[in-house]
Amino acid sequence: MAATKTNQPGKHRILIVDDHPIFRQGLAQLINQEEDLCVCGEAEDNHGAIKAIAELKPAMIIVDITLKDMSGIDLIKEIRKSHKEITMLVISMHDENLYAERAFRAGAKGYVMKQEASESVVQAIRQVRQGGIYASKKMTDQILSRFVEGPKDSAESPLKNLTDREIEVFQLIGEGLSISEIGVRLHLSVKTIGTYRERIKEKLNLKNSTELLRYALNWVENERGIMPGQSAF
Residue 5 DSSP one-character state = B
Closest alpha carbon to 60 in 120, 15, 28, 97: 15
- Report the alpha-carbon distance of residue 139 to residue 124 in Å, rounded: 14
- Report the alpha-carbon distance of residue 97 to residue 111 in Å, rounded: 11
Q: Is the pLDDT of residue 1 over 50?
A: no
The residue-averaged pLDDT of 192-204 equals: 94
Winning range, highest mean pLDDT, from 139-143, 182-186, 225-229? 182-186
- Report the alpha-carbon distance of residue 172 to residue 217 in Å, rounded: 9
- Report the alpha-carbon distance of residue 105 to residue 95 in Å, rounded: 16
**pLDDT tens per residue across span 129-181:** 999 999 888 887 776 766 676 655 545 678 888 998 999 999 999 989 999 99
Q: Is the pLDDT of residue 116 over 90?
A: no
- Per-domain boundaries in the chain: 12-144, 157-223
Sequence-ordered list of residues with C-beta below 8 angstroms from that of 112, at least 6 positions apart, any chain = 89, 90, 91, 92, 120, 121, 124, 134, 136
- Report the alpha-carbon distance of residue 182 to residue 200 in Å, rounded: 14
Q: Is the pLDDT of residue 227 over 90?
A: no
CATH superfamily of 12-144: Response regulator (3.40.50.2300)
**pLDDT tens per residue across span 20-67:** 999 999 999 999 999 999 999 999 999 999 999 999 999 999 999 988
- Report the alpha-carbon distance of residue 161 to residue 36 in Å, rounded: 41
**Global confidence as pTM:** 0.77
Residue 230 DSSP one-character state = -
Q: Is the pLDDT of residue 232 over 70?
A: no
Winning range, highest mean pLDDT, from 63-77, 115-129, 187-201? 187-201
Q: Percentage of the chain surpassing pLDDT 90?
A: 61
Query: Do 69 and 90 meet the contact criterion of CB atoms below 8 Å apart?
Result: no
Query: Do 30 and 233 meet the contact criterion of CB atoms below 8 Å apart?
Result: yes
pLDDT of residue 154: 44
The CATH classification number of 157-223 equals: 1.10.10.10
SS3 state of residue 83: coil
